[in-house]
Structure formats: structure tokens, C-alpha cells
Structure 1
């Protein structure tokens, strides 16, 4: 890492579907899918409070995202997973477009966005994805979809995997 640049995260985090995350303590397999929307709604205020702090733009150390950058990422996670869920419910076994979260952070200049705007967008996107998971019909939780790297998901495991990201980053923003 040079000059405080963020090192891209190249891990395949799908292991959280089968193991407890040692960093945040989240166990995806324990999540009942009907609770995904409520959990998102419970966590959004913590992100909003963090984004309204005076230090939201400051990186805690070189090479670590600021609260603003994590907030912009979580906003985009909400949007991407809302799209993926819609694809899974509308199509048989869709292949998701690749999303490089690190490239998006650089291209969209997460570090230069307005924390107040990001907070508003995060709240809207969080409510949209929570409502989408709330509306999943009981018989649709086992519908399938695939990520561009070949990772296979059901609607249930997509929601559990998604929720890990949201829970995990609450710890990163110290909310």
C-alpha cells in the first residue's frame, strides 16, 4: 500500500454462509430470511448517526476507509442486492453482472461525496431493499442465481450473505 491507498479486498466472502465471521461475529446461517428487512431497518440509523459525525470524512488510519466511504459502499450494497434480488425473483437462475466494489469506490470518488447526501441515499436504498426482502413470497426463498465468479445463491443465502456485509460494516464505522 502506497500513500494511504486502499488495498482491494480480493477475498471471496461466501464462506460466511457456513462459518461465523471472526471479525464481526455474524453467523449468516442463523438468520431467518423473514428477518432480513427488519435487520436492515434496525441498522440504518447507526449508519446515519455515523455519517453525521464531524469525523465522517477522516480515515482512522492510512489505507482504511473513512465512515463516509463505508457509508457510500453500504448504500451501493443496498442498491446492488436490491437489483440482484429482483433478478432472482423475475428470472430463472440469472447470472449477476460483475460488481467490483473497489473500482466503484475509486470511480465514484466515495471519499469526496457529501456525507449528508450519502446518509439520505443510504436510508432510501436501505428501505427499498428491506421492503424487497419483506415482499419475497414464501415459496421463492429457494430460487437461484449466480455471481459472475460462479458463486451460487438461493434467495435465502443471497439475503444472508448480503446481511453479513451490512452488519460487518457497522463495526467498521464504529457506529
Structure 2
């Protein structure tokens, strides 16, 4: 088994700015949120391709996640965001439990995961999450929800924020 690599520095950027401005780093721009499911599904073949590479478990730098680590994060992000979306659609202005993505990476031992298994898991979670976004009715896009730090989202801004995370990480593993 590969030795545990050094810790990846914790993410400190508040990426909510992408909701209004997009992301120059990865080229993300918000489009019609009704396309969230289709855009999410479109990432699945790109993840499968990245995870089929011989170097899928290798970090490009000691403190930068490998493609499999990014894929584990995306897999879990799909699940967490689907749960939060369901909460927003079910409850009035819910507050989401905190999710420490960096702790999740260590606790889930992302570094040692098998790329083919993660590819299948990611595809299943992405498909389920895409279907959840497909099911949002036009009158539900303005329903609110809050992060544990107080950041307010609507289902619409939540979809944009979520989709950027996924597409940005595709950019991270394909550049």
C-alpha cells in the first residue's frame, strides 16, 4: 500500500463569488440552471477518462490532490449537495450541517481509493444528483437554504455553486 502523503492545505477561498461572476480560473459560467443535470452528466465521461489513466492515483505535487482524490471529493459532493437540495425542497429555509471537505478526505482515505471503483461510485452519485436537479419545478428555484456559516442560497444559486465545484475539479484533473 502506498504511504500516506502529506496533508493538502485546507481550502480557504469562499467560492460563492462564482455565482455572480463565473470563474476565470476554470472558465465556468452560469447558464440556465435547468441544464444543471445535463451539465453534471456531461462530466461523467471526463471523470472516467481521468480515472482510467495510469497516474490517476499520483499527485502532481505533494500537496495537490490526485485525480482519484478529486474524484472522491466530487462523489461525496454530489451526495452531500443532493441531500441539501432535498432538504431545501422539503423544508423552509433549512440550515445545512457543516461539512469539512478536508476532514472527509482524510477520514475517507481518498488517497488509497481504487480509481475504477471511484469512477463507478462517482457516476452513480452524479446521476442521482442530476436526476434530483432535473426534478426541481420552476416554482422551487427561489426556495432558500443556508450554509452553517450563514451564507444564504436559493436553489438556483445553490445549483450554480454546486455545478462550478464539479466542473472546476474536472478542469483540475484534465489540464
- Normalising to structure 2: TM-score of the pair? 0.95
CA distance in 2: counterparts of 1:20 and 1:14, whole angstroms: 9
- Coordinate RMSD, CA, aligned: 1.1
Aligned residues: 171
Aligned to 1:57: 57
Q: Secondary structure at the match of 1:18?
A: helix
Residue equivalent to 1:155: 155
Distance (whole Å) between structure 2 residues aligned to residue 39 and residue 21 of structure 1: 16
- Which structure 1 segments of 5+ residues have no match? none
Match of 1:72 in 2: 72
- Residues 53-85 of structure 1 show CA distances to partners (whole Å, capped at 9, x for unaligned) of 111000011110000000000001100110010
Question: Are residues 1:145 and 2:169 paired?
Answer: no
CA distance in 2, matches of 1:4, 1:111: 10
Provide the TM-score with structure 1 as the length reference. Answer: 0.95
Could you say which residue in structure 2 is the equivalent of 1:134? 134
SS at 1:21 equivalent: coil
Can you give the 5+ residue segments of structure 2 that lack an aligned partner in the other structure? none
Residue 23 (structure 1) aligns with: 25
Runs of 4+ in 1 over 4 A off after TM superposition: none
Kindly provide the CA deviation profile for residues 94-129 of structure 1, in whole angstroms up to 9, marking residues without a partner as x.
Answer: 000100100100111100111111111100000000
